[in-house]
Copies of this chain bind each other. A is one copy, B any other.
Amino acid sequence: MLLTVIGTGLIGGSFALGARTRNLFQKFLGVEPNAENADTAVRLGIVDDVVDEVPPDSDAVLIAGPSDVVADWVVRLADHPGVIFDVGSVKAAILQSIHRQLGRIPLRFVPCHPIAGRELSGPGAADEDLFADRLVIQTPHADTEAAALDQVVYWWRNLGARTQVLDPQAHDEVYALTSHLPHLLAFTYLQRIEPAHLDHAGGGFRDFSRIGGSDARMWSAIFDLNKDALLQALSAFESDLAGLREAIAREDVAEVRRLIGAARARRGNRSDD
């Protein structure tokens, strides 16, 4: 069994390391345009070798580049006989782009999204247990082969992940709110931060700052691909923000307190990790 990983960074590298440890494949190849990352991936045993093209005898091909390169890779691999899967944070736009280019979606392409982001990146951050107890979503299209979906689910579960099948559009709407919007707000928030502020960073700043350090290449692609759902979530946020701003401006402390209490209730019984 041969796995080819396109993009040997944090996610692709972690999948390959985990799959090697669990003996899911016997041979691992990488397609990695970044020469330094390619060297690191071979040195760390993430892949056995780096190649320029995906070999036709790959049993599986993991497209682990940024969300905006996934559709083009699937189009290039449209007639590849292996199981093709990706890890992009946006799903519906990728499927639409493939359909626009090919007039169909390849039957053995299984769109995936592991909820396992970190601020770290690159093969040096790869971890064979990155997906342990993490949720990995599959958003199959109408024609996805059941055997290909089952195979991909089997691999993710072997790496310790929980799996869930979602409709692509529903996925994009949920993650616009639970992931893309918080990142957008954190990036916006940091625009006004000056070096002098860093000495006065309490808990609030630290939380915003952490996700605000995420990769610009990756996140600009996500925002662009999931523009519609993101702008809709943002519009609701802006309206709520105006409501809270007006309550503060008119010194309606009871209403502000009510809204903060409502926020607290909505996070559920989460621990304060």
Question: Which A residues are within 8 Å of any B CB, using their own CB?
Answer: 115, 117-120, 135, 164, 174-175, 177-214, 216-217, 219-221, 223-224, 227, 230-231, 233-234, 236-238, 240-241, 244-245, 248-249, 251, 253-254, 256-264, 266-268, 270, 272-273
Contacts and interface: CB of A to CB of B under 8 A. Distances in A.
B177 A212 contact: no
Shortest 10 CB-CB contacts between residues of A and residues of B: A182-B204, A190-B263, A220-B257, A216-B260, A207-B207, A187-B263, A216-B261, A119-B272, A220-B256, A209-B267
How many monomers of this chain does the complex have? Answer: 2
Contacts of A238: 238, 241
A164 to B, nearest CB: 8
Given A213-B272, A257-B220, A268-B195, A189 B200 contact: no
A200 B135 contact: yes
Contact of A244 (B187, B194, B199, B201): B187
Given A178-B200, A259-B187, A263-B186, A270 B192 contact: no
A240 B188 contact: yes
Nearest to A204: B182
A244 to B, nearest CB: 5
Contacts of A264: 190, 212-214, 216
A202 B178 contact: yes
Contact of A268 (B186, B198, B210, B245): B198
Nearest to A233: B192
A203 B117 contact: yes
Nearest to A260: B216
A95 to B, nearest CB: 19
A59 B191 CA distance: 46
A267 B190 contact: yes
Given A118-B272, A216-B264, A221 B177 contact: no
Contacts of A262: 190-191
A212 B203 CA distance: 11
A212 B272 CA distance: 10
A245 B186 CA distance: 13
